Each structure stands twice: as structure tokens, then as C-alpha cells.
Amino acid sequence: MKRITTKDCDVAVIGGGPGGLAAAVCSARMGKKTILVERNGFLGGTATSGLGILGYLDRQGKKALGGFAQELIDRLANYGGAIGHYPCPVHNSITPISPDWFKVVAVEMCQEAGVEILFNNELLDVTVESGRVTGVEVYGKCVHTLISAKVFIDGTGDGDLAYMAGARYVSGQDGTGIMQPCTLMFSVKDYNLEEFLSFAENNPQNFGIKEDYAKGYTPSFFRSSPGHCFIGMDDLIRKAKEAGDFHVPRNQFIYITTPVDGILAINTSRITEIDASDPYQLSRGLEDGYMQVKELMAFMKKYLPGFADAKLAGISPTLGIRETRHFLGVRRLTKDTMYAPEMMQEAVAQSAYNIDIHSGVKDHIDLTPIDKPFGIPYGCLVPESLDGLLLSGRTICVDSQVFASVRVMGPCIEIGEAAGAAAALGIDAGVDMRDVDIKALRSVLRKNGCLF
């Protein structure tokens, strides 16, 4: 028997990752009846993987994110789920978080704001009338829910809502269509970090970051910073590959510290040449990811000093997807226009993270430092040909170079806050999303504490 129910709201956010969460809470705080639909049984998306959040500090160590993004960290810190922002010679900054406390704090913030959460529901269909998104159908536990709203916000990461609505898009990187690879994060315990760092100190060929921008990336830095990300062990990986013990298409070992004593997050798996917006390729990617976790644990025990007794502590509940669809918007931000005055004047979010492109076909990373934050114009969030819809997170309209910076969680949170505020302002003014007063939106976001 088919069960159908209906819900009517002002704002419906589909996808409860970092961008969707911020959008929903901000919309609700501005008085709008808001529903947040999430396919999983938790909120947070990539924030629940163990990966630290990037983008809070710029290359000079100045704060680049405020508003909801900073409030989120403050809330986490109250429970021991965050330990602050730490400068990094390579990533500009690292903000370690507890994936489990993130799940709790996300629900807490939604409840306080009055957001209705609909867990374990998958987007099934989208209704478009005269070029305007007017409804969606979601499905969970044998119930079809028809949601009507004045504004919809796509926080799915892959742009599933915009795709189903018929918004124009491109896949992968400009010119090639190649997508950055996916990663299945996992965590370990029972390791000896001092033994590991002492080996690295005595074997400098195992530091993979030797470029000028990585000055200060030394064992003493790792010992002194509770929040850091190690990249290296190139020589040991080469030896393991030669011995047939390492088949992951990665040339470096990466770990990230966490706020949980004794737990390290491992960001070393790499699933290449898949389109994670395709369900069959996504499934294959997860299969590969689990097998890579097994191989990486064996590699760590056999080859990495300090990890002989390491134990698997947990595996991310979701595959970390870096890149799929890019939608065409009213504005398109490119590397050549990142600091253009007109773009800065229309900025509703910003990114202080570097241009970080993981090769989708080889084993390396191409990283270009960003010396100062750049603004993300509101038009990048507005699909070019649809009304009643906003983009949040990594689906916004930017080129491949800019995308490689804004795709990380910090900027995505701020983009989400802007989307939620824009939806509320547009509803109050009775205008389409493309006609939202950008000056008024910027004013609201600045009052919220955003720093662009």
C-alpha cells in the first residue's frame, strides 16, 4: 500500500551536510518555516567523516569565517568536540572536530531554531511549474512525502535537486570532465606518534611537501600543534609499491589529528575515475574504499614506524566526494575574476583555502596557495534558468580553479548561511531569488558575524 503525506513550508532544504545545515538553521532563525530533509540518519555529511574543517584562517593566520561557521565550532568546543583553529603551512589552517559531537550539535541547533528534520528520506522527484521549482517528493520508510515550499535549497552536494529540476550543469573539471577522486576516511588508535615523527625527522626524504609555501612543515611543527595534518612518507610508499603491498593510487600518507584523545583520522584512500553522482559507480567506489582501508591498515602496521600495533577505530559512514556536478548560475566566479571589484561587492561568503586539486587519474595533488581570502558572489548560488531554487555547498557556479578552493567544508558552511538568509529575505520581499537585494543580504550576514 502506498502511503502519501504532504507538508507545506516556506523553505525546504534538501541535504543536511555542512551547507544544508547552515542554510536551514539560518532560514528558520529568520522566522521561516523550514524543513531539512536528510537521506542519512544523521546531519553533517563530510563533517562526520573525521576530517578537520579547512578555511577558518587565511594564510596570514587571520580569521576568515565567522557567523554560523564560528558558532558551530564554539558549540562543539563546549562539548569537547573542537579544539580551535590551528595555522598550517600547507592548508593555511586546520580545525579538528569530533564527528560524533557534530551530529549532536547539528540536531541541537536545528531544534533551537525550529527546523523540522526529516531523517532517512531520499529525494524522489521534483515538480517544476513555468520554470519555478514548486515541490519535491521524498521517500522514507514506505511513506511518500510531498513537500511544497516557497524556496528550495539544494544542499545535496551533488546537486541532485537541481539536476532533477532540469538545471544546466557540467561535470568534472573544465575542459576534461575529469573529477577529483573520492576518499573513504577512517580512524585509528594505539599508535606511537613520537616514534613516527622521530623517524620522519631522521628521514627527511619522507616529507612530501618541499615547496617554498610549506616552509615550517617540520616534525617540531607537528609536535607543537595539537591541530595538524601530516603529509609524507613518500619513500616508504614507494618501497611498499615495489613490494606489491600498496595499490592505492596515492603517493603520500596523510593523517589528521582529532579532538578525541588517541584517535587519528586517516585521509589516504583514493578512489579514482568514478562519477559519484552515478549510483552504480558510487557503489563501486564504496567497495573499493573498504578494500583500501584493509590494505592501508596492513601497510601502516608493516611499514610505518609507530603504527605496528595500530587498530582500526572507525570508518566514515559516507564516502568523501570531492567533485561531481557544477551548475550554471547567474554569476560564474573564475580564477581571473576572484578579486574583481564587482565580485567582491556582491560577495555573500568567502574562501581562504588554497586551490587544492587532487588528480583524478594519477596519484598526486596540485596545490596553489591563496594569499588572501576572495569573495563568492550571490549570483553563484542562483541557477541561471530556474526560480524558487538556490544552490548551497560545492554545487555553486565557479570554474575548476575556484572550485578547488571553495569545495571544502568551511566555505560551504558560509555559502549555506548565505543561501538560508537569501531565501528568507526573498520571501519577505515577495521576489524571485535572482532579485534578492544583495546589499540587504550582505547586511544581514555581517550582523550575523560573517567576515567577508
pLDDT score recorded for residue 230: 94
Max distance between CA atoms of the chain, in angstroms, equals: 68
Predicted confidence (pLDDT) per residue in 35-47, tens digit: 999 999 999 999 9
pLDDT score recorded for residue 131: 97
Predicted confidence (pLDDT) per residue in 191-211, tens digit: 999 999 999 989 888 877 777
pLDDT score recorded for residue 204: 83
pLDDT score recorded for residue 64: 98
Burial of 328: CB neighbours in 10 Å, binned 0-12, 13-18, 19+: middle
pLDDT score recorded for residue 303: 98
Q: Which amino acid is at 428?
A: D
C-alpha separations of 400 from 30, 375, 405, 406, 414 in Å: 33, 16, 9, 10, 19
pLDDT score recorded for residue 206: 81
Helices 409-429 and 18-29 pack at an angle, to 10 degrees, of: 30
pLDDT score recorded for residue 219: 87
For the chain, how far is it from start to end, CA to CA, in angstroms?
52
By the 8 A CB rule, do 437 and 425 touch?
yes
Predicted confidence (pLDDT) per residue in 122-159, tens digit: 999 999 999 999 999 999 999 999 999 999 999 999 99
Question: Nearest-CA neighbor of 388 among 167, 57, 138?
Answer: 167
Question: Nearest-CA neighbor of 397 among 183, 170, 130, 138?
Answer: 170
| Cα 110 off chain centre by | 19
Please identify every stretch of the chain with a pLDDT value under 50, giving residue numbers as ranges.
Answer: none
pLDDT score recorded for residue 212: 79
Distance CA 195, CA 175 (A): 45
The residues, any chain, with a CB within 8 Å of residue 202's CB and separated by 6 or more, are: none
Q: Which amino acid is at 369?
A: P
